[in-house]
Amino acid sequence: MKLSTYISTEEKQSIFSTYQYIDSVGKFDQWYQSHCRLPYYFRGIKEACYKNYTSAQRVCITHDLDCLPSTLVHLQVQKLRKEHGQLFEKYCKAIGLDCSDFFLMSYAQHYKNGISPLLDVTTDLDTALFFMCNGAQFSTNGVDTNSIENYASIYFVNKEIPTFDDVLKNLVSKVEFPQNISKEDFIKCAEYHTLRVFGTSLFNLFAALSKYSYFLVDNKQYLCAFNKDEFNYQKTLTIGNFNMTAQNGCFIYYDNDKEPFEEKVVECVDIHKKLIPYITQDILIPKNKTEEYLFPDIDKIVNDSYEKMLADNKIL
């Protein structure tokens, strides 16, 4: 089965409460100046016809799978732990991270065939524009220059979206002590992996919390622990992904079988692909919003520093 797509800009205009399309440098400059500092989460997509599906949704839909996206993700996380769990645990321990299901999902998200219920967003409009421009191609071969095929998209998500904090607080408020375990003994085992409580994966429980069918996770990893006296959750934050740091990135956890994320988007702007050279040269490159910066190659960074050190100090 094919993924559902938009057939025209007119269709998108009927779906999004705030929608506009931009087809000139003047219109773009005016829009950019009014939006570049707004407190939204941004998502850039190189084809305006694409809808906002998670990778798990895409795999289930395009392969006509009977299982739910959350089940597919759970199976992959289990396989990662079974086949490579020792290595991941060792790596996380070395850098001070908890090897949670959430870490494995976010890690796999950035590699080939890594599936997850996560959508990439950023707090930086320029970064979203880079992703919108990257790989987009303007076509005139038998295509109306004003058709949706010659537009790319920026989506805006309101920052009032529930956060992982909200979800954890909600879960902790529902905690009931097992009858055969004392509170003191329970507290002794009070550090839990981010998505594991009572030996199960939390993302299997999220579907039951309809209020939190989607929520935001920032570029830090949350570890859930409990205060001995008040039994309130506390959090420890650790950076989990170098690319996300460079990209001012966040994840939106979206738990839905087949529907794209569109209903949670507050604004959509379609930008004509003929403007991509202007956006790239006049907006992105001067601000160093390049592939080299947003996808740091540590080998290259270290080697370049070494070569420049030799040259600057006339060594060798």
| Ordered DSSP codes for 70-137 | HHHHHHHHHHHHHHHHHHHHHHHHHHT----HHHHHHHHHTSTT---SEEEEES-HHHHHHHHHTT--
Residues 57/4, Cβ–Cβ less than 8 Å:
no
pLDDT at 126: 96
User: Percent of the chain at pLDDT above 70?
Assistant: 70
Within a domain: 36: yes
Within a domain: 233: no
Residues 138/273, Cβ–Cβ less than 8 Å:
yes
Which one, of 228, 255, 229, 232, lies nearest residue 74 by Cα?
Answer: 255
Average pLDDT of span 194-214: 40
Mean pLDDT of the residues in the chain: 76
Q: Check whether 43 has a pLDDT greater than 60.
A: yes
Which one, of 276, 184, 274, 268, lies nearest residue 229 by Cα?
Answer: 184
CA distance 129 to 271: 10
Secondary structure E strands in 106-264: 118-122, 151-158, 196-197, 200-201, 214-217, 220-226, 233-239, 249-254
Q: Hey, which residues does 196 pair with through a beta bridge?
A: 201
Within a domain: 37: yes
Q: Check whether 190 has a pLDDT greater than 60.
A: no
Side chain identity at residue 29, one-letter code? D
Q: Check whether 66 has a pLDDT greater than 60.
A: yes
Which one, of 227, 215, 219, 231, lies nearest residue 176 by Cα?
Answer: 231
Within a domain: 20: yes
Side chain identity at residue 128, one-letter code? A
CA distance 108 to 84: 12
Q: How many CB atoms lie within 10 A of CB 277?
A: 11
Instruction: Give how far the C-alpha of residue 125 lies from the chain's centroid of Cα atoms, to the nearest Å.
Output: 14
Question: Count of domains in the chain?
Answer: 1
pLDDT at 71: 80
pLDDT at 293: 93
Residues in the chain: 316
Within a domain: 179: no
pLDDT at 227: 33
Within a domain: 257: yes
Within a domain: 53: yes
Within a domain: 219: no
Confidence of residue 245 (pLDDT cuts 50, 70, 90): confident
Average pLDDT of span 16-22: 91
Model pTM? 0.76
Range of the domain at 139: 9-165+251-312
